[in-house]
Structure 1
Amino acid sequence: MIQAFGLTSNPRKDLPPVVDDVSFDARAGHVTALLGAAGTGKTTVLRLMLELQQGRGLTHFRGRPLHRIAHPSREVGVLLGDVPGHPKRTVRGHLRMLCAAAGVPVRRADEVLEAVGLVSLRDERLGTLSRGMDRRLGLACALLADPHTLVLDDPAGGLTARENRWLHGMLRAHAVHGGTVLFTTADPKEAARFADRVVTLDAGRVVADQDVADFARTRLRPRVAVRTPHAARLAAALTKEARTGRCSVEVVREGGNRLFVYGSTCADVGDTAFRHGILVHQLADEVGDMGPGAVEPPLTPQPAPPVPALEPTPPVPASEPAPPTPASSPAAQEPLKHVPEPTVPEPETIPPDTVPSTPEAASGRLPAQTGPEDADKAAEADISGDRATAEPTPPNPAHHDSTTADTRTADTALQDSTPADTTPAEQPSAPADHTAETEPLTEYPAPSPLRPLRYELRRATGVGAGFLTGAAVLVVSAFTAVVAARVGHTPQARLLAAWPRELPLPPAALGAGLLGALAFGDEFRHPALAADRGTVPRRLGLLAAKLLVSAVTGLVLAVLTVGCDAEVLYLFYGREVARVPAEWLSLGVSWVGLVIGCAWAGVLAAGVFRSTSGGFAAVLAVPVVVVPAVEKVLAGPSVRSAAGFPLRLREVLLAQWPFGGERYLAGLARVIGQPVGSALALSLATLVCAYLLTTLRSRAR
């Protein structure tokens, strides 16, 4: 259950807030629609609920605010806009990466792909998906952690009628099994056809919170849709007869041969057309919107297969009462049409010949591979626009509750025990002076990913950018080494590293810095963890995983670069140019430290500045800005020399270093004592402090 109290966005300058004091409830086992035209604040309401935007108010998901939930993705499945992800990543690879972020088994990716009908497209790139397939993938991402609540922003936007039916069938199946569904829409007929309760927004305020029957009676009105090649004649005849009989009939022409007749019936319109000898191609009852901008209603939605749970549903003890079946909305029982009195019809009885003959059909579940084509076949039996009248399966909230026993709280149990079919009058409402209305929404870092190293490996290897960057580094490095050997004046150690004095950094260091910057910058452009919070979580576990992966990548790149340069120099100029220097150990440590340090600088800078370009610019700033400053400081007359450091260290410790350990310390001291090493160490220390400072600030707020 969702309870929103006093959601209010922060005003900008002298403009009023986009959302002002919005409060409503979305009950478990029901589908709730947040209705409003473009610009009324629907998306802002969702962002305030999910704590993605600063404002006032509070939202409880089964009794707890989002920042108090241990694993948000297991409680709330979110879809805001297009599916966030790298356009070159495959559908299956994207879901497998999110499995590591949400802490669920990797097989869950294949389960949701089968449930949403994307098995045949699992190897397609995200950038090549159509609008309908993108919506399917977005629903799969929202259902990945088997959440209890679904929050979707205009999920049917841009979809065809067939895809719209399939999508809302999936949402209905989720609600039937005890989940909570909240979606936004600008079409009142879509809200009346697919929702159980409609919350109407206007200018950022709630103007109506109604059951779908009351909404249909007050907002929608019946009409007769007519198609005839003699639309003008029929319109004139209907208007004349209505004037003669003093009836309130309104005839509206809508393009070419189409008419909408309000205040009449199909029989009366057909009789008029027959008396005047007018050919009619279509004559059907419809429901029209009383407001502007109405569009034709979609065809009948059919129930879609529910997504299998992460764990088998535990049996309900006999001592506990069974969860109540959500009350079917009147719109689900009969088509919206004009009735003399606003009565609630009785549920229709299913004919004997429609009783399902298979266990899957009897339980309300369709085959897992169900797509729009199957929904069309099911819709042929009732094309008039009625909703499915089959009695839904009793909900089982435990089916969607994947939280562990140690995270369950008493208030969650109270929310789970709330009857799903409680009438609006019985639901507790927030008082006008509720203290939560003035409590600011605070952005808290999400605890994801739950498996950071596995997530980082799948993120790094899921696209070809890293492999292409590494190949480009090897080619450029080999070419630079050949040209530098041809020109001369380059020491042997720098020649193997393809680092002439004219370049600020070698190609391998620049490539490692770029890969490190992509580790965070790419996520800020395509936030893979938007299913949790919409922003990349700034957690030390994730940072450690990124630093480890970037260090291994830098080490491999450094070794491959030196090896390729040596082979190319040997092929072009012989063994004399490609010989290994005598001090290869200290030089190798210095070389590996430089490449890994640049990679770490890129990771930390991209995490601080939240962009790939910012991270790469910080890597370039080390030799261009920091190194000259360090050289100037080291060249000062007041700087003391560190000569004799190993000898003095041995005297302090009063022990003999095994295996000549003082030589390694001396080499490390020489590496750090170089201008580039000192500048890189200083830059890394500064970036680490900046990253920790921004992380602590986000937690303190």
Structure 2
Amino acid sequence: MSIEARGLSKRYGEKTAVEELTFTVRPGTVTGFLGPNGAGKSTTMRLILGLDRPTAGTVTVAGRPYAAHRAPLREVGALLEARSTHGGRSAYKHLLGLALTHGIPRSRVDEVIEAVGLTGVAKKRVGGFSLGMGQRLGIAAALLADPATVILDEPVNGLDPEGVRWIRNLLKSLAAEGRTVFVSSHLMSEMALTAEQLIIIGRGRLLADTTVHDFVRSAGRDEISLRSPEAARLRDLLAGPGITVTSDDAPDSLRVNGLGAEAIGRTAAEHGIPLFELTPHRVSLEDAFMELTRDAVEHHAAAPVPHHQEVAA
């Protein structure tokens, strides 16, 4: 039930939104879809769901284009825009309409409403929902037909911490059931906790298709910070091929790359050098992402605007 893109491209006039994307999203794992604003993530998801036609290339779900499935909702559940529901309908009526037009039992409507935590507001009009409640309703619609593939675009927008954790656990449980889970997000910390695979694009092009672990590991070696009253002596002892030791702001502080905390501690102990601090600083997913995509960001923020200060007369 994988999603497969092959040479996928989409142009709008002279603007190329997606260019020759080739990737596979496999079942049984949560795959994060990352990229800066304007990278082409939403366009790619629209192409997967047949909402836009590719200029070139193909994209299939379970071996077929989305529109070629006899019951697409049973194959793919998707959330692209939480505010796309008619504001005058209740959450229950919205889901019931989807269910009746796709041969889904009424009982399933109650199941998904309870699953996403909307039981208390199911009969209220959607127009009065907060963004977080709208996200929950959109996820309920995506899960309504019990699909084998789930595609969610920024599902944690507007959710409180409890809701974010709920989404995280939901995605992991769906993948554990063998489903294909493809989710975009700008929250790198959340992707680090949720996703196992990553597809990263920038300016419409594929930048990385790898695991979270391998991506972070390839971004650079971990750094160790330490403090010692004999920092200068320890610096000379730690120096060696592939090892970088730099002085920090304080005279008793060092930063070490290329050597683990255990090896540093052992060297210090062998030479009777006291250590006041020995702290590893691991490369984060956010650090690795920023490094990879720094040339693919369309709009870079300038330095902060200084506060206006009134000049006394």
Given the two structures, how large is their TM-score scaled by the length of structure 2?
0.73
Mapped to 1, the partners of 2:140 and 2:220 lie a distance apart of 33
Matches within 5 A, 1:124-203: 124-203=124-203
The Cα offsets for residues 361-385 of structure 1, whole Å up to 9 and x where unpaired, read as xxxxxxxxxxxxxxxxxxxxxxxxx
The Cα offsets for residues 40-68 of structure 1, whole Å up to 9 and x where unpaired, read as 11111111111212322211211111121
Deviation of residue 5 (structure 1)?
Answer: 1.1
The residue aligned with 1:52 is 51
Sort the Cα spacing of 1:241 and 1:2 in 2 relative to 1 into closer, same or farther, 3 A.
farther
The residue aligned with 2:23 is 24
Give the secondary structure class of the aligned counterpart of 2:6: strand
Deviation of residue 212 (structure 1)?
Answer: 2.6
Deviation of residue 291 (structure 1)?
Answer: 4.6
Matches within 5 A, 1:74-113: 74-113=74-113
Letter aligned with residue 58 of structure 1: T
Mapped to 2, the partners of 1:241 and 1:173 lie a distance apart of 51
Deviation of residue 157 (structure 1)?
Answer: 2.9
Deviation of residue 292 (structure 1)?
Answer: 7.1
The residue aligned with 2:234 is 245
* Cα pair 1:91 1:124 within 8 Å, conserved: yes
Give the secondary structure class of the aligned counterpart of 1:96: helix
Mapped to 2, the partners of 1:128 and 1:239 lie a distance apart of 59
Sort the Cα spacing of 1:208 and 1:88 in 2 relative to 1 into closer, same or farther, 3 A.
same
Sort the Cα spacing of 1:218 and 1:113 in 2 relative to 1 into closer, same or farther, 3 A.
same
Mapped to 2, the partners of 1:179 and 1:250 lie a distance apart of 50
Mapped to 2, the partners of 1:22 and 1:169 lie a distance apart of 29
Give the secondary structure class of the aligned counterpart of 1:19: strand
Mapped to 1, the partners of 2:172 and 2:165 lie a distance apart of 10
Give the secondary structure class of the aligned counterpart of 2:123: coil
Structure ranking higher on relative contact order (CA contacts 8 Å, 6+ apart): 2
The residue aligned with 1:216 is 216
Sort the Cα spacing of 1:273 and 1:208 in 2 relative to 1 into closer, same or farther, 3 A.
closer
Give the secondary structure class of the aligned counterpart of 2:182: strand
Give the secondary structure class of the aligned counterpart of 1:21: strand
| Structure with higher strand content | 2
Mapped to 1, the partners of 2:164 and 2:201 lie a distance apart of 22
Letter aligned with residue 248 of structure 1: V
Deviation of residue 111 (structure 1)?
Answer: 0.6
Sort the Cα spacing of 1:220 and 1:49 in 2 relative to 1 into closer, same or farther, 3 A.
farther
* Cα pair 2:4 2:59 within 8 Å, conserved: yes
- Are residues 1:10 and 2:11 paired? yes
* Cα pair 1:83 1:137 within 8 Å, conserved: no
Mapped to 1, the partners of 2:232 and 2:20 lie a distance apart of 47
* Cα pair 1:221 1:290 within 8 Å, conserved: no
Letter aligned with residue 87 of structure 1: G
The residue aligned with 2:287 is 290
Mark the runs of 5 or more structure 1 residues left unpaired by the alignment.
Answer: 225-234, 253-260, 275-282, 295-701
Mapped to 2, the partners of 1:293 and 1:25 lie a distance apart of 23
Sort the Cα spacing of 1:242 and 1:113 in 2 relative to 1 into closer, same or farther, 3 A.
farther
Deviation of residue 31 (structure 1)?
Answer: 1.2
The Cα offsets for residues 158-214 of structure 1, whole Å up to 9 and x where unpaired, read as 434432221021111111111110011234443332112111112211121112321
Deviation of residue 153 (structure 1)?
Answer: 0.9
Letter aligned with residue 3 of structure 1: E
Matches within 5 A, 1:298-309: none
The residue aligned with 1:71 is 71
Mapped to 2, the partners of 1:158 and 1:262 lie a distance apart of 40
The Cα offsets for residues 459-480 of structure 1, whole Å up to 9 and x where unpaired, read as xxxxxxxxxxxxxxxxxxxxxx
Sort the Cα spacing of 1:110 and 1:19 in 2 relative to 1 into closer, same or farther, 3 A.
same
Q: 4+ runs of 1 displaced by more than 4 Å?
A: 220-224, 237-244, 249-252, 261-268, 283-287, 291-294
Mapped to 1, the partners of 2:206 and 2:46 lie a distance apart of 16
The residue aligned with 1:41 is 40
Mapped to 1, the partners of 2:74 and 2:140 lie a distance apart of 13
Give the secondary structure class of the aligned counterpart of 2:208: strand
Letter aligned with residue 157 of structure 2: G
Mapped to 1, the partners of 2:63 and 2:110 lie a distance apart of 32
Deviation of residue 285 (structure 1)?
Answer: 6.7
Sort the Cα spacing of 1:37 and 1:100 in 2 relative to 1 into closer, same or farther, 3 A.
same
Deviation of residue 221 (structure 1)?
Answer: 6.0
The residue aligned with 2:122 is 122
* Cα pair 1:29 1:178 within 8 Å, conserved: yes
Sort the Cα spacing of 1:119 and 1:206 in 2 relative to 1 into closer, same or farther, 3 A.
same
Deviation of residue 30 (structure 1)?
Answer: 1.4
| Structure with higher helix content | 1
Sort the Cα spacing of 1:114 and 1:7 in 2 relative to 1 into closer, same or farther, 3 A.
same
Q: Give the structure with higher Rg (CA).
A: 1
Q: What percentage of aligned pairs have identical amino acids? A: 34
Mapped to 1, the partners of 2:246 and 2:114 lie a distance apart of 50
* Cα pair 1:10 1:54 within 8 Å, conserved: no
* Cα pair 2:83 2:134 within 8 Å, conserved: yes
Letter aligned with residue 8 of structure 1: S
Mapped to 1, the partners of 2:47 and 2:85 lie a distance apart of 23
Give the secondary structure class of the aligned counterpart of 1:78: strand
Number of aligned positions between the proteins: 264
- Are residues 1:272 and 2:276 paired? yes
RMSD, matched Cα: 3.3
